Structure 1
Amino acid sequence: MVLRKSIFGLAVLAASQISVAQGLGQRTNAIEEVVVSGVAGSGSRTAPSLQEARAELERIPGGIGFVESSDFLDDFAQSLGDTLVFTPGIFADTSAQRENRISLRGSGLNSSYERRGLTVLRDGVPITRASGSTEFQEMDPLSVHYLEVYKGANGLRYGAASLGGAVNIVTATGRTVEPGASLRVEAGSDDTRRSNLSLAAAGEQVDGYLTVTRLNSDGYREHSEVDSEYLFGNIGVQLSDALESRFYFTALRDTFELAGSLSRETALEDREATASPVIIGPFFPGGPVTVLDPGPVADDWDRNLEVVRFANRTVYRFENVQLDAGAWYSYRGLDHAITRFAGIIDHEETEWGVFSELSGTSQLANLPLDWVVGARHNRGDNDAKTFENNSGREGALRTRQDQESRNTVVYSQADLRVRDDLSVVAALQYLRSTRDNDAVLNATAGEVDHRQFNPRLGLLWDAADDVQVFVNASRGFEPPSMTDLTSGGALPFTELSAQRAWTLEVGTRGQRGPLSWDVAIYRSWLNNEMLDFGAPGARGFVSFTDNAEDTIHQGLEAGWDVAIARDALERQGLALTWRNALTVNDFYFDDDDTYSHNKLAGVPDVLYVSELRLSHARWYAGVSVRRVPSGPYVDFANTERTPGYTLLGLNLGWQVSESISLFASAENLEDEHYIANITTVADQSQENSNIYTPGQGRAFFAGISLSY
């Protein structure tokens, strides 16, 4: 399918899907009336209920997504990417056990580690660091109540103006879930074991929630063992009918081994293999041979992360105005053993931040007006060191850098209902980011300061009770992360420009009879897009980031649900749902001096995910498919791309009693060999780098949940 010449082709394709799509990205039905406060599931001022969150998202004239925990807990979801499988526009793959590369609308096409391009928050507080990078494994799917996805500049109130936008992970509280205790135990392939204990309680003024998860797995490759412990809790205090304050605590210890990247042939034929040692020479017959990198096992490649985070959010409602304010503090320790060239990366980082937001309702020229004004600021200080990697042991200190990152965001938004069925939404964001790298030992000092105003204008038309049409235009802005500027300490500080973009988006969402849909098409004109290149060699000795000139990202995001034979099956106590998500990507250079109009490497052109599920009050059975017709290009010269693949899955569940449930899932039933992740390079025909990560083979998981 050729969509390069203009967005017109995308519009035609989107129009053909409107009658069979889905609302808000996930199993959307009409918004139900919000129940009164105090009842389990009703939410509170600091913790909106599912219904309240959906209603808020419906007022956004742009691409959004909404994911309930029930949509992914049937499968063995280990990471953030696993929870977003049915969100159109997102491509998530696996680079290591528990580690995803997540790209939304082509954001962070292949940031090699410490991902960028997507702002991730927990209950409105950033998990994405002040330095601009995100460790997606800082999130435990079993602690999630629901997720809100704000594509592109639709997430500007969260400080997101990047191409990818923002994902806000909303956790359970004592007022949004049933009180009591639940125990979940799972086991499966590769000696995988996971256990979770959750407690919830709510009184008249105080409520609390606590969840603890332990995960162990040998991994599907050699040298890919995982050992993870996660603790999260929150306590809410309702000081009056108008005032509530909630305190959050997170503690994480996540360790996993790295098997490294392989050659294309090995990745497809021997997916359990680890990366081969890097050998230099001989340069003449009988000449010397140098083992530059003994490989992941000998050097114990791994990534060990510890995080402690405290946060508070306080909401006060008076008259027609609400004040939402809070603060957070976190500590992050990283011990990351990698190649001899990169060494052992050792980071100790502290971060703090504050935010404040006023929102309310009023009138403008006798027309209803909803408005928001807010600001947030955060700062991170990182003691960044690298050591020699001596067969997995920490050797001499090689480099040391004191890194300081700061971000300031000020934003405002007005939603003016000019007619009963038509709203104009205008927003403006000011974002300033600074990155200061102070060289202490064998490093290069440098500083960048990027700032920009980002406007957004949209129209939202309520075409019918359950049908919306929207259009918006926005300006995007993404400063480079500290990792982009320093390559994790492996390379000297390199000044990069901020990535900028203008985006036009049109779409529709809604529900008609047995059909619900969410369809959007967009086109982004980018300047200085940040692209990642792996240096030649096994696994790439190091990846570095560079700015492109002009690039284009355009695409189609279509999701649809169909309730098959709804009336007939309801009489039998059954429901048959066909769920679909289609993503079409067309990303390319715009008359580049080196790459002309080549496609951008990193993500496939088409991704289709589908599930057919039969449900009963006591049981369910579903079969799913993930189809990538042709894999992505691995290089910007477009000399090689990975093969396409089709993965089949199965999940089953049985509600044994009110307090006991059983569930099971199977992944890659046909045991297909495929490539899950790549490191992008300039020209693979010249470099012949080992840049391929194999996907998981056939796997089975099962579990039991006990609640009281």
Structure 2
Amino acid sequence: MKFINQAVSIQIKLIFLAGFLWWGLGVPLDGFAQSANYNEQKLTPNFFQMDPVIQVAENKILKKEKSEPGTMVLDEVEVIGKERFFDLGARPFDRSKEFLEKVPGGTTLIDAEKMRETSMQELEDAFLFAPGVHIAGQNTGLEGVKIQIRGSGIRSIHSPIRGVSIFRNGIPMTRANGGTDTQNLNYFVWDHAEVLRGANAMTMGGSSLGGAINIVTHTGRTSPGFHGRLTFGSNEFTSPSVSYGYSENKWDFFTSFSLISTQGNRDTANSGTAKWGFISAGYQWNENNETRFIVDIQDHDWENGSTLTLASLRNNPAQNNRNPLDPNFEIPHMRFSLKHNVKTEDWGSFSLGTFYQRNDYNFPFRAFGFFEDTWEEVGVVARNEQDRNWLGFNNHLEMGVNTQYMWVKDENFSSVNQSKGPIVFREDNYFTLVEAYFQDRISLTNSFDVVLGIQGIYKNQEFAQTFPVTQSVSEESPGINPKGGFVWQAMEEVQLYGNVSRSFETKTLNNIGDSTGANKVRDQKATTLEVGTRGGSSLFSWEASFYHAWVQDELLVVESPPQSMNFLLGNADESLHTGIELGAESNIPLSFICSGDSLRIRGTYTWSDFRFDGDMNFGDNRLPGIPEHAGLLEVLYKHNSGFYFGPNVEIQSDKVVDFANTFSAPAFTLLGLRAGYAPKNTFYKFFLEANNITDERYAESINVAVNLNGMDANQFLPGQQFSMFGGVEFEY
């Protein structure tokens, strides 16, 4: 029996059984789960869909070697896994790891599976073990949080934040005006996230001092089947979340609905509710073309708790001096994105995407006024990656452009007998942002790469006031950011890197006056030097970066007076940002109580020395709002049965509250404990955590002031007191 010049192709398909309807969309009720094994290595649809193909190579035959009567020995059979096409901005987890290891600067890969070991109360849980990322929440945690990296974002209010660019699947979530609503980031649908600190964000198009975060969401292929989660806890915290993923042939589909409801950490009027709806549908036209459409529908509703004096916070952090006439804030959000990805032999991979997003802000302060804003935005992004051989060297090229156009309708109404009165102010704002970038990673040797890049930014802002007077102003902000760096694989498990880069951050005009007069606001510019190392083995991994940034015209914001919704924007002349970012994790096999048990130790440390540099008014004072030292350590014992438990400790040094450095929020130490049961090969998990076991009274966040003259003031938002959370997670 001979088979000559023939190829046999066998495809094994797995389709998960499904028996329910989700959001009114029908799903077939039959199929088989996808799996394939070869050489004891599982080919899984978790990050790729593999179409294992058994091929008998041309001109190879089945040989009839006789060993025993009636038997024959076959030629070697080669199994080839065809990697499913993937999006350039939504790399699978393993590809994200490879991508970040080639960046000549500080990066962190966040695994959402580890995030789900926590209660997932707020966005802060996602970044617990990302060094250099400082998160500060407030009250319920649903109002959005401050995200600060390398001092960029010090000037931010809680939401929208500024100074850090946020992307999702490679498409900007940060708006053309520079703001990002962090309550819209929906961490329930994350597969993983890439943190690129500083100018390392150039490879995504980010241009700010702080860098960028790229969130990669689940699809029907990365999260197949039904997933459910239910969390209960202190302050009447309730959070159900359900999702379903499905794929068949060229289609995949993923949908999720999540809810958080809580009464907050105050005695009165501090409740909040957040609802996140998410749909992702993908279609692979052929092996070189794929399209994905994503829909977000969200609604956020909360009551703000008041800021307190430090003395009041220490006496009773649950008290709330909120004006009973202050409103419930409700912000509905919608977002649609469409992206097409193409692979070519000659020109590498292309991604082309577009999006639309809208937020409606309604702030009905019955005591003094009603404020209504509508923010809408459209954008188009394009990216290309290709490999070239120039002058005998391998070159990996990354280039792209992000274009965004945003329009804002801003209306203020008077309050008449605590009801909405006539209009007192109307303004229309328009923002255009273009960020184009080119980067070349040149492999001089097998272990040493040089990275060269350049970025161009153009932003145009136009403000047109139409009531009570008519006036308008527009301003353009162009900028250029060069970058040079290296990555050296010094040993198999040790990598060294460094870079010198330029960042450019455009001002955001709050009103007509910001663009005129002697106090005209200027764009922020910085030059940053960075060196560091990363590496690891199966037992131990680490990342460490040192950076120093010379910042010109740093943008600073204060709310004056507190809780007035009146924010003052200005520039520092010169400032210095110096820091160290350390992260490490060790997984130690013990076989102590049973065979296969282990100890996972992980921690982060961040040193942040941010200060004015010979300022006319503030000399060399520290910049407020950020602790100089911050660290987190967790030790988790994991039993072979699936049971785990362990303590954690978070430490922060004091942080100054005002630019004059006359008053500080004191240092604090928080102790916590986590436990759970996640047996292998089962459909359920249980988790439990206790936070702030010693019931520390501390300020989690502060509102920055100019000069408090050493006097206590209402600038502090209390952190969570002793609390417990627990729940169950299941999937099939």
Moved over 6 A (4+): 32-36, 40-43, 484-487, 491-494
1:533 is displaced (CA, Å) by 2.1
Letter paired with 1:216? S
Q: Distance in 2 between matches of 1:340 and 1:486?
A: 26
1:622 is displaced (CA, Å) by 2.4
Confirm or deny: 8 A CA contact 1:526 1:553 kept in the other structure.
Answer: yes
Q: Does residue 85 of structure 1 match 2:128? A: yes
- Total equivalences in the alignment: 650
Q: Does residue 73 of structure 1 match 2:119? A: no
What residue in structure 1 maps to residue 431 of structure 2?
Answer: 405
Q: Distance in 2 between matches of 1:43 and 1:173?
A: 13
What residue in structure 2 maps to residue 198 of structure 1?
Answer: 243
Of the three residues 43, 49, 52, the one matched with 1:38 is 49
The 1:68/1:207 distance shift into structure 2, 3 A limit, reads same
What residue in structure 2 maps to residue 515 of structure 1?
Answer: 540
Q: Distance in 2 between matches of 1:435 and 1:689?
A: 35
| Map 1:5-44 → 2, pairs under 5 A | 37-39=48-50, 44=85
Secondary structure, in 3 states, of the residue corresponding to 1:95?
coil
String of CA shifts for 1:629-683, please: whole Å, max 9, x gaps.
x221001111111111111111111125611111111111111100111111111
Deviates more, 1:152-161 or 1:252-261: 152-161
String of CA shifts for 1:211-236, please: whole Å, max 9, x gaps.
10111111111221111111111111
What residue in structure 2 maps to residue 638 of structure 1?
Answer: 661
> Percent identity at matched positions?
26
Of the three residues 355, 359, 367, the one matched with 2:381 is 355
| Map 1:63-462 → 2, pairs under 5 A | 63-97=106-140, 98=142, 99-112=144-157, 113-177=159-223, 179-221=224-266, 222-275=268-321, 296-320=322-346, 321-337=348-364, 343-389=369-415, 393-442=419-468, 445-462=472-489
Deviates more, 1:153-162 or 1:206-215: 153-162
Confirm or deny: 8 A CA contact 2:461 2:475 kept in the other structure.
Answer: yes
Letter paired with 2:315? E
Letter paired with 2:227? S
1:108 is displaced (CA, Å) by 1.5
Q: Distance in 1 between matches of 2:467 and 2:329?
A: 23
Deviates more, 1:32-41 or 1:545-554: 32-41
What residue in structure 1 maps to residue 25 of structure 2?
Answer: none
Confirm or deny: 8 A CA contact 2:228 2:730 kept in the other structure.
Answer: yes
What residue in structure 1 maps to residue 553 of structure 2?
Answer: 528
1:175 is displaced (CA, Å) by 1.6
1:494 is displaced (CA, Å) by 7.6
What residue in structure 2 maps to residue 623 of structure 1?
Answer: 647
Q: Distance in 1 between matches of 2:216 and 2:709?
A: 45
The 1:569/1:146 distance shift into structure 2, 3 A limit, reads farther
The 1:395/1:261 distance shift into structure 2, 3 A limit, reads farther
Letter paired with 2:243? S
Confirm or deny: 8 A CA contact 1:406 1:434 kept in the other structure.
Answer: yes
The 1:526/1:359 distance shift into structure 2, 3 A limit, reads same
Q: Distance in 2 between matches of 1:82 and 1:620?
A: 18
The 1:562/1:38 distance shift into structure 2, 3 A limit, reads closer
Secondary structure, in 3 states, of the residue corresponding to 1:683?
coil
Q: Distance in 1 between matches of 2:356 and 2:451?
A: 33
Q: Any gaps of 5 or more consecutive residues in structure 1?
A: 1-31, 276-295
Q: Distance in 1 between matches of 2:291 and 2:630?
A: 42
TM-score by length of 1: 0.88
Q: Distance in 2 between matches of 1:524 and 1:189?
A: 42
Q: Distance in 1 between matches of 2:512 and 2:115?
A: 36
Q: Distance in 1 between matches of 2:594 and 2:390?
A: 50
Secondary structure, in 3 states, of the residue corresponding to 1:419?
coil
The 1:364/1:334 distance shift into structure 2, 3 A limit, reads same
The 1:528/1:339 distance shift into structure 2, 3 A limit, reads farther
Confirm or deny: 8 A CA contact 2:165 2:213 kept in the other structure.
Answer: yes
String of CA shifts for 1:60-84, please: whole Å, max 9, x gaps.
0001111011222222223333211
Q: Distance in 1 between matches of 2:366 and 2:496?
A: 51
What residue in structure 1 maps to residue 493 of structure 2?
Answer: 466
The 1:214/1:392 distance shift into structure 2, 3 A limit, reads farther
Q: Does residue 654 of structure 1 match 2:677? A: yes
Deviates more, 1:310-319 or 1:476-485: 476-485
Secondary structure, in 3 states, of the residue corresponding to 1:676?
strand
Confirm or deny: 8 A CA contact 1:540 1:691 kept in the other structure.
Answer: no
The 1:338/1:432 distance shift into structure 2, 3 A limit, reads farther
Q: Distance in 1 between matches of 2:512 and 2:472?
A: 11
The 1:129/1:568 distance shift into structure 2, 3 A limit, reads same
User: What is the Cα-based RMSD across aligned positions, in Å?
Assistant: 2.5
TM-score by length of 2: 0.85
What residue in structure 2 maps to residue 606 of structure 1?
Answer: 629
Q: Does residue 56 of structure 1 match 2:67? A: no
Of the three residues 583, 587, 598, the one matched with 1:559 is 583
String of CA shifts for 1:598-654, please: whole Å, max 9, x gaps.
1111100000011101113422112111101x2210011111111111111111111
Of the three residues 693, 699, 704, the one matched with 2:717 is 693
Confirm or deny: 8 A CA contact 1:501 1:527 kept in the other structure.
Answer: yes
The 1:446/1:201 distance shift into structure 2, 3 A limit, reads same
Q: Any gaps of 5 or more consecutive residues in structure 2?
A: 1-40, 52-80
Q: Distance in 1 between matches of 2:480 and 2:658?
A: 33
The 1:679/1:361 distance shift into structure 2, 3 A limit, reads same
Letter paired with 2:132? G
String of CA shifts for 1:532-554, please: whole Å, max 9, x gaps.
22324x54562312100000000
Q: Does residue 670 of structure 1 match 2:694? A: yes
String of CA shifts for 1:355-381, please: whole Å, max 9, x gaps.
111210111111111001211201011
Confirm or deny: 8 A CA contact 2:232 2:238 kept in the other structure.
Answer: yes
Q: Does residue 503 of structure 1 match 2:528? A: yes
Q: Distance in 1 between matches of 2:431 and 2:42?
A: 43
Q: Distance in 2 between matches of 1:670 and 1:389?
A: 45
Q: Distance in 1 between matches of 2:612 and 2:309?
A: 27
Structure number with greater Rg is: 2
The 1:494/1:143 distance shift into structure 2, 3 A limit, reads farther
1:171 is displaced (CA, Å) by 0.5
String of CA shifts for 1:147-173, please: whole Å, max 9, x gaps.
111111111233311111111111001
Secondary structure, in 3 states, of the residue corresponding to 1:213?
strand
The 1:139/1:52 distance shift into structure 2, 3 A limit, reads same
What residue in structure 2 maps to residue 291 of structure 1?
Answer: none
